[in-house]
């Protein structure tokens, strides 16, 4: 992973960690992540943070990030099989799709050339990895 990809991955992780901290303790990614809770639960903090930063109205970028983050976490709440390899691969597809969605938001709303270049790189890399994971799962009957 290049320096730019590592930096964006860290930023995305911090975004998720900050939201989890604001919501209270959350289950680890390997657990029944999100099971039994509303998929939109916790988005109120993210929405109010985005709204506070823009004088009371959530920006289009903040709304898009919140929606992408909520969708990713909902989709990562997979039924676990007990097979670490399968569970990892199945969980990584929505995780990678979340990164692609967030990168698209940067391309739609961001202006910094370095951030936009990183977002483009992430979209290409994560798309290839989703294809690789899907092929791995298909070869094993998933």
pLDDT per position in the chain (142 positions), as tens? 565 555 555 444 444 444 444 444 344 444 444 443 344 444 444 444 556 555 679 999 999 999 999 999 999 999 999 999 999 999 999 999 999 999 999 999 999 999 999 999 999 999 999 999 999 999 999 9
Residue 138 lies in a domain: yes
The pLDDT of residue 43 is 43
Strand, coil or helix: 13? helix
| Cβ atoms of residues 94 and 134 within 8 Å | no
In a domain, 31, yes or no: no
CB hemisphere CA count around 110 (13 angstroms): 17
Q: Which domain holds residue 85?
A: 60-142
Verdict on whether the full-model pTM lies above 0.85: no
C-alpha 99/C-alpha 68 separation (Å) is 9
Domain tally, the chain: 1
Q: Does 12 reside within a domain?
A: no
Domain membership of residue 45 (yes or no) is no
Instruction: Compute the distance between CA of residue 138 and CA of residue 140 in angstroms, rounded to an integer.
Output: 5
* 108 belongs to a structural domain: yes
14 domain residue, yes or no: no
Q: What is the pLDDT of residue 74?
A: 98
Q: Is residue 121 part of a domain?
A: yes
pLDDT of residue 91: 98
Residue 16 included in any domain: no
């Amino acid at each position: 992973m290049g320096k730019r990809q590592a930096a964006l991955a860290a930023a995305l992780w911090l975004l998720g960690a900050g939201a989890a901290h604001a919501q209270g303790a959350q289950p680890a990614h390997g657990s029944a992540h999100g099971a039994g809770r509303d998929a939109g639960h916790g988005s109120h903090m993210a929405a109010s943070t985005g709204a506070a930063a823009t004088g009371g109205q959530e920006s289009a970028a903040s709304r898009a990030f919140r929606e992408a983050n909520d969708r990713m976490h909902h989709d990562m709440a997979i039924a676990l099989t007990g097979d670490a390899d399968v569970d990892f691969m199945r969980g990584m597809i929505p995780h990678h799709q979340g990164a692609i969605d967030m990168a698209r938001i940067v391309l739609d709303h961001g202006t910094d050339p370095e951030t936009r270049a990183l977002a483009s790189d992430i979209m290409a890399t994560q798309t290839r990895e989703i294809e690789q994971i899907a092929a791995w799962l298909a070869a094993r009957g998933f």
